[in-house]
Amino acid sequence: MAEESHAYLPYRITSGSIEPQGLSIQLKEKTELFLWDSIQLVCLGIVEERLFEVQPTIYAYIKNRVSKFFATGEEHANENTHRRKIYVEIFIRELNRPLRMESSAVNYRSFLGSVEYNSTRNLRKFLGTLTQKMPAQVFDRSYSAYLKDEKDPALVFPNVYEFQRHCQEQLKKGMEKS
């Protein structure tokens, strides 16, 4: 029987710093330094969750759909039914569970010093800095595609659990190669 992956509860990254010797992360009430060579894997995924809507009256529903169609075009008519979040999962040898960064919930100023008012740009700048500090083999394909803005885009998952499963598979593949 194949080994099943299981859901885990990651440590949430909200602030820290990038040091010459490693990644310094604020965990609970203390700051921990994780050396660059202790990082096993960095995964990136876009989670596109379906939002639950309260159905309006049929008249309000039709009016809303028609106005959206004529205002923005058919491709944007469902823009409020999904929410996209970018997650970065960092697996470290000494930890029994990974570090997780949700792109919109991070104090980028603590990591980068100067930041912009756009979390996506700040995330790309942060990821670029990580890329310079670590060997390429620790990043999954989705991470590289997102950072390089490739035609083959970063992977999109329907929920965070599917993203976790992907990360666990990537970690297992990396451990088998070692």
Q: What is the mean pLDDT of residues 3-19?
A: 81
Strand 30-35 and strand 11-12: pairing?
unpaired
How far, in Å, CA of 14 to CA of 106, rounded?
Answer: 4
Instruction: Indicate the helix (H) or strand (E) that contains 156.
Output: strand 156-157
Task: Please check the confidence at residue 74 and state whether its pLDDT lies above 50.
Answer: no
pLDDT band at 71 (very low <50, low <70, confident <90, very high): low
How far, in Å, CA of 11 to CA of 96, rounded?
Answer: 10
**Residues above pLDDT 70, as percent of the chain:** 81
Task: Please check the confidence at residue 113 and state whether its pLDDT lies above 50.
Answer: yes
Task: Please check the confidence at residue 175 and state whether its pLDDT lies above 90.
Answer: no
Task: Please check the confidence at residue 75 and state whether its pLDDT lies above 80.
Answer: no
Task: Please check the confidence at residue 53 and state whether its pLDDT lies above 70.
Answer: no
pLDDT at 152: 66
